[in-house]
Amino acid sequence: MQGMGRVAVAGGRPGWLFLAVAVSALLLDQVSKAVVRASLVPMDSKPLIPGVLYLTHVRNPGAAFGMIPGGRWLFVATSLAVLAGIAVYWFRSEPDRFTGLALGLVTGGAVGNLYDRLAVGRVTDFFDVRVFPVFNIADAAIFIGVVLLLWRLLFARVDEEGTGDRAVAVETPDPDGVGGDGA
């Protein structure tokens, strides 16, 4: 059951997981930003864990983690290109659950920050660990999703049939204790 335009589980695709993760990341991101904007004036900071984690309201006109201030339309174009790339990959391959989870995080985060750039002109950041630029849930979702994708790329092996499927190598004990192929 494969077809262009299908997002639900088709051909082994974990569409439900991808959608659930993407929508959850987007909702958590947008709700948290709304709460921060409503409860803190810009540059106001409140300790959550004193000396470790603060809520600091920052209006970020740049990229993730406050890098490259300005360039709003460059970041809008980059976000759209990333989302288009994810869509093309999704429909031209058969991602597994792990990849669906990772792509869902990247998608939810990218859409969250893209919405802010288009609707507000800047992104609201608020997690402040004082040794790293202030960031938000969308930034964290994108970062975690990319780390998971890199993990898959670095530690997965291509199947022996040459179909291009990837799986994380797992050693399993030989139930007969004879080793080899049993011949």
* 140: nearest Cα among 116, 111, 106: 106
Which residue would you say has higher pLDDT here, 74 or 45?
Answer: 45
- Residue 5 clears pLDDT 50, i.e. is over it: no
Strand 166-168 relative to strand 123-128: parallel, antiparallel, unpaired? unpaired
Please report the pLDDT score of residue 170 as a whole number. 45
Looking at the chain, the whole-number percentage of residues with pLDDT higher than 70 is 75
Arithmetic mean of pLDDT, 26-54? 96
Please report the pLDDT score of residue 178 as a whole number. 59
Arithmetic mean of pLDDT, 137-165? 81
Amino acid at 77: A
Arithmetic mean of pLDDT, 71-91? 92
Amino acid at 122: R
- Residue 164 clears pLDDT 90, i.e. is over it: no
- Residue 84 clears pLDDT 90, i.e. is over it: yes
**Alpha helical stretches, state H, the chain:** 15-39, 72-92, 97-119, 137-155
First vs last C-alpha separation in the chain = 37
Please report the pLDDT score of residue 64 as a whole number. 60
Please report the pLDDT score of residue 13 as a whole number. 57
Confidence label for 94 from pLDDT (cuts 50, 70 and 90): confident
Tell me if 146 sits within 8 A of 154, measured CB to CB.
Answer: no
As a whole number of angstroms, the distance between CA 147 and CA 155 comes to 12
Strand 53-60 relative to strand 45-49: parallel, antiparallel, unpaired? antiparallel
Where do we find the tokens 């409503």?
38
Q: Which of 96, 125, 165, 174 is catalytic?
A: 125
181: Cα within 13 Å, side-chain hemisphere: 1
Q: Which of 29, 96, 116, 139 is catalytic?
A: 139
Annotated catalytic, 125?
Answer: yes
What mean pLDDT is reported for the chain?
83
For the CA atoms of 35, 36, 40, 46, what is the dihedral angle to 10 degrees? 110
Confidence label for 42 from pLDDT (cuts 50, 70 and 90): very high
Tell me if 123 sits within 8 A of 85, measured CB to CB.
Answer: no
- Residue 118 clears pLDDT 70, i.e. is over it: yes
